[in-house]
Amino acid sequence: MNAPPLALVNARLIDPGTGVDSRGGVLIEDGVIHAIGANVTAANAGARTKIIDCGGDVVCPGLIDMRVFVGEPGAEYRETLATASAAAAAGGVTTIVAMPGTTPPLDDPAVLDFLMRRARDTAKVRVLPAAALTKGLNGREIAEYGLLKEAGAVAFTDGTHCVQDSQVMRRAMTYARDFDALIMPFAEDANLAGSGVMNEGMFASRLGLAGIPREAEAIALDRDMRLVRMVQGRYHAALVTTAMSLEIIARARASGLAVTCGTSINHLTLNDNDIGQYRTFFKLAPPLRSEDDRRALVEALASGLLDVIVSDHNPQDVDNKRLPFGEAENGAIGLETLLAAGLRLVHSGDVALRRLLAAMTIRPAQILGLAQGRLEKGAPADIIRFDPDEPFVVDPVRLHSRSKNTPFENALLQGVVKLTLVAGSAVHA
Amino acid sequence: MTDPAPGKPLFSQKHLLGIEGMSRADIEALLDLAEDAAPLSRQVNKKKDTLRGRTQINLFFEASTRTQASFELAGKRLGADVMNMSVATSSVKKGETLIDTAVTLNAMRPDIIIVRHHQSGAVDLLARKVDCSVVNAGDGSHEHPTQALLDALTIRRRKGRIEGLTVAICGDVLHSRVARSNMILLSALGAQVRVIAPSTLLPSGIEHLGVEVFRDMRKGLEGADIVMMLRLQLERMNGAFVPSLREYSRFFGLDQEKLALARPDALVMHPGPINRGVEIDSSVADGPQSLINEQVEMGVAVRIAVLEALARHLPNN
């Protein structure tokens, strides 16, 4: 196996964890970072070392995506671990957290074991399972956090389901705390969301579509914050999408609760106006919100209130999307466009590059307790190289996902990933 | 009427409703009395006449095998006429209130009523409506005083003392009247009491009740002299309080491996009935460190002692 050392030289090194943003190189040996800094140059490299001149491109930790729906097991026609990981590698994502809403669901250690073996054998990037918060994701009975954590679960969530019963939620939080298990619930009051299919507001009214008020998210999140205070556990709000929700998180955090939050790249870069004439690729859960909410999310990202950006990658085939808006499935793919879409916020001057990358590397690593997500000696060599300025048009046909439901279809984006390393091995070049 | 052990201190109460409020002297007097009563059940002639002519009613609103049998035998060995009232066939099933039942039974002039009820505080309520002595055989999640007394007696006989021992009570503390009575009694006699359970099976604020709380069983067992396992009701095991039977037994079931973390001479107790393979492994339940059967034997002795002590308060004695 003893692969020769690899040196990425002449790069703009960005390590969001330490704030490093400087010229230099990274030396990789045996799958881990061996040296880093201005001294890692072509001239200093050993004879056996393979050298890649990055020509000033950004070299940073590989991205960690905390919310990816993979079709395997059960919906391989939409996406497999192989195709999802190919999309991830092409997008610079080196670790994905797989959501538990598979068939069968990830609520049993044996199913987790299956997923991890399949990932080991077929996936190019690291796949970490998030197990179910409640059995069958039905919101009624807490899952086996102890056994599931031993089997490899890094977090617990019901995906796009919100536990409606407060007693169940309280017990889930209480029991999870004993096992130091991270829970990342989805917050939506099901009754208030009702049969809504998009954000409640002017655009929904104009389209004649039933709306989901922002309060549906706020009420569930508010309840959860009160339970977190009662139980004193850890809580990661999987997706916050409104200014109202951000206020709730800010208040909880100011009072000392161990609360973190994430949002999707879609909610940071798109709004409900983008739905236009019933474009179902923009039908998401939670729904795309107003421009005011989007602006609030961008500000929260810049200020650090928003910890994590996820792709919320959710492959749906045409049969699930080419339907009347109200009947179409929720979800958009996003692994491959995550970084480039995020760079829109950098190019527009709203967010510093380092801050954007932190929300996709070090913050998820810290929340999940992972060794990757940083450029540090001894850390796993999960590293990407990208040119933040190079433009490209998103061509769905060329995307690696088995499903093509991207809201960035034909969009002009900037930021091309040129190299993706997982444990020092190139999985995309 | 014999006057049992006139030199010993008398139990000061008319009823036995709970351990809470009992003095250390009362508890120790009962244990001494029970210690003396223990040989009776090993004799060929197990009869005494302390309660001859007396009527004892066992009023069980909740199904019970061992506690009811234990009280029945204790009463009979003391010569009382014992009547078991099964709630399944009684007027309670026809909608009679607890107080009406109490008043009706009182009119039949019993001397002692043994009551078990699924509601916390129900035995206390009933005791206020009758003239005779009342023994709490378990009320809801509140108290089960004779269980705590028999546990203490079993420990004292084996270890020679209770003072200074570390007792780890493990399992469904939230719903357990056995745990509550034991926490009070063992603390009163100077033991260090620990409780071990997942947080979902612990009552809130338990750390303020004078016990040490452990959520990790392995840590809680370290240095324990006594490991007292509690029964987990199967209906509480399927996702409501704990996710599953297999997860519970993996993290909170007592097996040889976990027991090895306690002191080498640690003893294992369980109020019964046990769920083999769930909260306790068969090899532990049936092993040399188990006191489970001895607890049952001491149960009869303790109930004989309680009945004898209460008999001193009966009129015309």
Kindly write down the DSSP assignment for every residue of A371-403, as one continuous string.
Answer: S-SS--TTSB--EEEEEEEEEEE--GGG-SSSS
* CB half-sphere exposure, A334, CA atoms < 13 A: 32
Q: For all residues of chain A together, what is the average pLDDT?
A: 97
Nearest in space to B254 (alpha carbons), one of B268, B242, B244:
B268
A418 contacts A410 by C-beta, under 8 angstroms: no
Chain A residues with CB under 8 Å of B250 CB are: 146-147
B17 contacts B143 by C-beta, under 8 angstroms: yes
pLDDT tier at B2, thresholds 50, 70, 90: very low
Nearest in space to A417 (alpha carbons), one of A394, A387, A389:
A387
Residue with tokens 């309280």: A170
**How many residues are recorded in chain A?**
429
Q: How far apart are CA B293 and CA B283, in angstroms?
A: 14
- Greatest alpha-carbon pair distance for chain A in Å reads 68
- Interchain CB contacts (distance < 8 Å): A and B: 45
Residue with tokens 């999307």: A321
Residue B136 pLDDT: 98
Nearest in space to B224 (alpha carbons), one of B155, B305, B309, B150:
B155
A16-55: per-residue pLDDT in tens?
A: 999 999 999 999 999 999 999 999 999 998 899 999 999 9
Interface of A with B in 200-259 (CB under 8 A): 231
Backbone angles phi, psi at B23, to 5 degrees: -80, 160
Percent with pLDDT over 90 in chain B = 84
Q: Give the chain B residue whose CA is nearest to the CA of A171.
A: B200
Chain B residues with CB under 8 Å of A177 CB are: 199
Q: How many CB atoms lie within 10 A of CB A379?
A: 20
Q: Environment class of residue B93 by beta-carbon count within 10 Å: exposed (0-12), middle (13-18) or buried (19+)?
A: exposed
A203-257: per-residue pLDDT in tens?
A: 999 999 999 999 999 999 999 999 999 999 999 999 999 999 999 999 999 999 9
**How many residues are recorded in chain B?**
317
Give yes or no: A312 in active site: yes
Give the closest-approach CA distance of B265 to chain A in angstroms.
29
A1 pLDDT above the threshold of 70:
no
Q: How far apart are CA B296 and CA B302, in angstroms?
A: 10
Chain B residues with CB under 8 Å of A174 CB are: 198-200
A211 contacts A188 by C-beta, under 8 angstroms: no
According to DSSP, residue A92 is labeled T
A177 touches B: beta carbon within 8 Å: yes
pLDDT tier at B148, thresholds 50, 70, 90: very high
Cβ of B250 within 8 Å of Cβ of A147? The answer is yes
Cβ of B199 within 8 Å of Cβ of A175? The answer is yes
Residue with tokens 């389901």: A161
* ipTM of the shown complex: 0.87
A26 contacts A7 by C-beta, under 8 angstroms: yes
| Sequence-separated (6 or more) residues with CB below 8 Å from residue A140 | A134, A165, A168, B239
According to DSSP, residue A275 is labeled G
Helix (H) or strand (E) holding A113: helix A109-122
Domain with CATH 2.30.40.10 in chain A: 6-59+381-391+412-428
| CATH number 3.20.20.140 given to A62-368 | yes
Q: How far apart are CA B43 and CA A70, in angstroms?
A: 72
pLDDT tier at B10, thresholds 50, 70, 90: low
Residue B312 pLDDT: 85
| Preceding amide of A4 cis, omega within 30 | no
B233 pLDDT above the threshold of 90:
no
Give the closest-approach CA distance of B157 to chain A in angstroms.
36
Nearest beta carbon to residue A177 from set B199, B250, B251:
B199
Q: Look up the pTM and report it.
A: 0.92
Cβ of B243 within 8 Å of Cβ of A174? The answer is no
Q: Give the chain A residue whose CA is nearest to the CA of B240.
A: A141
Q: For all residues of chain B together, what is the average pLDDT?
A: 92
Chain B residues with CB under 8 Å of A178 CB are: 198-199, 215-216
Domain with CATH 3.20.20.140 in chain A: 62-368
Chain A residues with CB under 8 Å of B199 CB are: 174-175, 177-178, 231
Cβ of A143 within 8 Å of Cβ of B243? The answer is yes
B131-144: per-residue pLDDT in tens?
A: 999 999 999 999 99
Least confident of A332-346, B33-47, B228-242: B228-242
A109 touches B: beta carbon within 8 Å: no
Chain A residues with CB under 8 Å of B246 CB are: 144, 147
- 3-state SS track over chain B: CCCCCCCCCCCCCCCECCCCCCCHHHHHHHHHHHHHHHHHHHCCCCCCCCCCCCEEEEEECCCCCHHHHHHHHHHHHCCCEEEEEEHHHCHHHHCCCHHHHHHHHHHCCCCEEEEEECCCCHHHHHHCCCCCEEEEEEECCCECHHHHHHHHHHHHHHHCCCCCCEEEEECCCCCCHHHHHHHHHHHHCCCEEEEECCHHHCCCCHHHHCCEEECCHHHHHCCCCEEEECCCCHHHCCCCCCCCHHHHHHHHCECHHHHCCCCCCCEEECCCCCCECCCECHHHHCCCCECHHHHHHHHHHHHHHHHHHHHCCCCCC
According to DSSP, residue A235 is labeled E
Percent with pLDDT over 90 in chain A = 99
Q: How far apart are CA B271 and CA B293, in angstroms?
A: 10
Chain B residues with CB under 8 Å of A135 CB are: 239, 243
A143 touches B: beta carbon within 8 Å: yes
Residue B1 pLDDT: 36
Q: How far apart are CA B275 and CA B246, in angstroms?
A: 12
Cβ of B200 within 8 Å of Cβ of A144? The answer is no
Mean pLDDT of B62-75: 94
Q: Coil, strand, or helix at residue A359?
A: coil
B256-288: per-residue pLDDT in tens?
A: 999 999 999 999 999 999 999 999 999 999 999
Cβ of A175 within 8 Å of Cβ of B242? The answer is yes
Nearest beta carbon to residue A144 from set B200, B240, B243:
B243
Q: How far apart are CA A408 and CA A270, in angstroms?
A: 10
B205 pLDDT above the threshold of 70:
yes
Please measure the distance between the N-terminal and C-terminal CA atoms of chain B and give it in whole angstroms: 8
A141 touches B: beta carbon within 8 Å: yes
**Chain B residues within 8 angstroms (CB to CB) of chain A:** 198-200, 215-216, 238-244, 246-247, 250-251
Please measure the distance between the N-terminal and C-terminal CA atoms of chain A and give it in whole angstroms: 21
B313 pLDDT above the threshold of 90:
no
Neighbour-count burial for A143-167, b at 16+ CB within 10 Å, e otherwise:
bbbbbbbebebbbbbbbbbbbeeee
Q: Coil, strand, or helix at residue A354?
A: helix
| Sequence-separated (6 or more) residues with CB below 8 Å from residue B316 | none
A134-192: per-residue pLDDT in tens?
A: 999 999 999 999 999 999 999 999 999 999 999 999 999 999 999 999 999 999 999 99
The dihedral formed by the CA atoms of A129, A134, A135 and A138, expressed in degrees to the nearest 10: -120
A423 contacts A94 by C-beta, under 8 angstroms: no
B261: tokens are: 């973390």
| Sequence-separated (6 or more) residues with CB below 8 Å from residue B126 | B98, B99, B101, B102, B113, B115, B117, B134
Residue with tokens 């990274």: A26
Cβ of B200 within 8 Å of Cβ of A175? The answer is yes
Cβ of A135 within 8 Å of Cβ of B240? The answer is no
B9 pLDDT above the threshold of 80:
no
Nearest beta carbon to residue B243 from set A142, A174, A177:
A142
Q: Which of A107, A224, A312, A382 is catalytic?
A: A312
Give residue B138's identity as a one-letter amino acid code: G
The dihedral formed by the CA atoms of A139, A143, A148 and A152, expressed in degrees to the nearest 10: 10
User: Is the model more confident about B92 or about B243?
Assistant: B243
User: Is the model more confident about B228 or about B11?
Assistant: B228
CA distances (Å), origin B48, targets A87, A328, B104, B113: 85, 82, 30, 19
- 3-state SS track over A4-47: CCEEEEEEEEEECCCCEEEEEEEEEECCEEEEEECCCCCCCCCC
Chain A residues with CB under 8 Å of B239 CB are: 134-135, 140-143
Q: How many CB atoms lie within 10 A of CB A37?
A: 16
Class of domain A6-59+381-391+412-428: mainly beta
Helix (H) or strand (E) holding A85: helix A81-91
Rg, chain A, Cα only: 21
Q: How far apart are CA A270 and CA B198, in angstroms?
A: 44
A119 pLDDT above the threshold of 80:
yes
